[in-house]
Amino acid sequence: MHINVAWSGRRGKCSLHCSEPILKYTKVVRGTGLSSAGYRYRLQWHFDCWVKQALEYLDEHKPEPRAGGPGRKELGLDADTRRQRHNLIVMAYRLKLRRTAAIESSQLWKLDELDKKLEGVKAELELVGGKPSHWV
Ligand SMILES: [Zn+2]
């Protein structure tokens, strides 16, 4: 939503449904709303009403630092399993490269075997933490 501040040019109603009318030449916050049908409509609030609800919103939505910092969560595997998982992922990546190369050089009879191997690697991966989330 786009928000800006202005001096009210005429009387109006506050979009927060407070009882006070908006008087001419008072400070207002203006914005646009989007209806469920896709129409934009104009909104106008008393400056103080808007700031009050904004502060309430921010107090309700405190920032929480993520435990362990940014980035992907660790799977919590021991060193051997991690290495095994890494090797499997590398193996799968090489198979995918060979698959692409086979398609590019029109050696399509290789595809069956490569796909079978890839499925095998994926099945083994399921035993050591599952396949990476971005794989299809
Ligand atoms: Zn108001």
Q: What's the pLDDT tens digit per position in 47-79?
A: 999 999 999 999 999 988 777 777 777 788 889
In a domain, 40, yes or no: yes
Owning domain of residue 53: 3-60
Between the CA of 93 and the centroid of ligand 1 the distance, in Å, is 60
pLDDT at 116: 95
Mean pLDDT over all residues of the chain?
Answer: 90
CB 28 within 8 A of CB 3: no
In a domain, 98, yes or no: yes
Between the CA of 59 and the centroid of ligand 1 the distance, in Å, is 20
Between the CA of 19 and the centroid of ligand 1 the distance, in Å, is 7
**pLDDT higher than threshold 90 for residue 88:** yes
Window from 1-10, 16-25, 67-76, 100-109 with minimum mean pLDDT: 67-76
Which secondary structure element, helix H or strand E, spans residue 49, and what is its range?
A: helix 47-60
What residues pack around ion ligand 1 (CB closer than 5 A)? 14, 18, 46, 49
In a domain, 95, yes or no: yes
Counting Cα atoms < 13 Å in the Cβ hemisphere of 35 gives 6
